[in-house]
């Protein structure tokens, strides 16, 4: 990883290791960032803006220090200079110090690689996967019920096929990224060191939402 990692701060996006993220880049400073990254190592760091960013968005509003680097696996430049890109999550990191030498934000970072799971972690992860599938099953059933006829069954089947093709690690990270959770809830999951801890945190979070709402709240966990 280069000494200075380009930062792409957004108010509602948290990237997780191993998960793909499509982005549409239209601001001039971030078009410049993408162009420079394509000429270099193709890495961009996704970070979350702190509350109150609206009034200073055109400048450099405060960010949370924890983020995740992503490798550009796809980049398409449109005729007007905008980009459609896809990032693949690589490593968690913490911002150590920001550099102000470019129009876009860059930082010195401290890479926080995921801890390697122990055999006990893997057993715990497998148990958590079963709990997650149980928690999400009612939401899938309701989503299917809102569809017509065979489309209901197909909705559930598509998810089941996709989930079954993912490893435990990839499934947990994908759910953490794409479930309709609050940005700070996602950031808290990213903070968890190790995939077993993250899986347990995701289970706890979904269970809490169900209890708090007194309804199967995970039905709202899908966009």
Exposure of 152 in the CB half-sphere (CA atoms within 13 A): 11
Q: What integer pLDDT is reported at residue 221 of this predicted model?
A: 57
Task: Spell out, as residue ranges, where the chain has pLDDT lower than 50.
Answer: 1, 143-144, 148-156, 158, 216-218
Question: What tens digit of pLDDT does each residue of 163-179 get?
Answer: 778 899 999 999 999 99
Q: What integer pLDDT is reported at residue 57 of this predicted model?
A: 77
* Domain 5-112 part of CATH 2.30.130.40: yes
Q: What integer pLDDT is reported at residue 1 of this predicted model?
A: 46
**223 three-class SS:** coil
Task: Report the 10 Å Cβ neighbour count for 153.
Answer: 11
Q: What integer pLDDT is reported at residue 54 of this predicted model?
A: 79
The C-alpha atoms of residue 117 and residue 124 are separated, in whole angstroms, by 10
Give one DSSP letter per residue of 113-133, joined into a string: PPPPPPHHHHHHHHHHHHHHH
The C-alpha atoms of residue 164 and residue 141 are separated, in whole angstroms, by 17
Question: What tens digit of pLDDT does each residue of 8-47 get?
Answer: 999 999 999 999 999 999 999 999 999 999 999 999 999 9
Any idea which residue has 């055109």 for tokens? Answer: 58
**What is the pTM (predicted TM-score) of this model?**
0.85
* Residues 75 and 83 sit within 8 Å (Cβ to Cβ): yes
Give residue limits of the domains in the chain: 5-112, 119-220
Exposure of 108 in the CB half-sphere (CA atoms within 13 A): 3
């Amino acid at each position: 990883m280069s000494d200075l990692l380009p930062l792409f701060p957004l108010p509602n996006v948290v990237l997780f290791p191993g998960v793909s993220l499509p982005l549409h880049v239209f601001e001039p400073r971030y078009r410049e960032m993408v162009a420079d990254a394509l000429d270099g190592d193709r890495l961009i760091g996704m970070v979350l803006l702190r509350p109150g960013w609206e009034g200073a968005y055109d400048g450099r509003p405060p960010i949370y220090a924890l983020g995740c680097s992503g490798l550009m696996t796809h980049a398409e430049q449109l005729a007007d200079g905008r980009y459609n890109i896809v990032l693949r999550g690589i490593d968690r990191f913490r911002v150590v110090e920001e550099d102000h030498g470019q129009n876009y934000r860059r930082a010195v970072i401290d890479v926080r690689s995921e801890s390697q799971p122990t055999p006990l972690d893997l057993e715990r992860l497998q148990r958590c996967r079963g709990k997650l599938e149980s928690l999400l099953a009612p939401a899938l059933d309701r989503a299917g019920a809102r569809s017509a006829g065979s489309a209901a069954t197909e909705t559930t089947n598509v998810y089941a096929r996709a989930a079954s093709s993912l490893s435990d690690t990839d499934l947990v990270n994908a759910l953490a990224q794409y479930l309709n959770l609050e940005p700070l809830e996602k950031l808290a999951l990213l903070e968890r060191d190790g995939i077993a801890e993250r899986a347990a945190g995701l289970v706890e979070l979904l269970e809490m939402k169900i209890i708090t709402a007194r309804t199967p709240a995970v039905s709202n966990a899908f966009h």
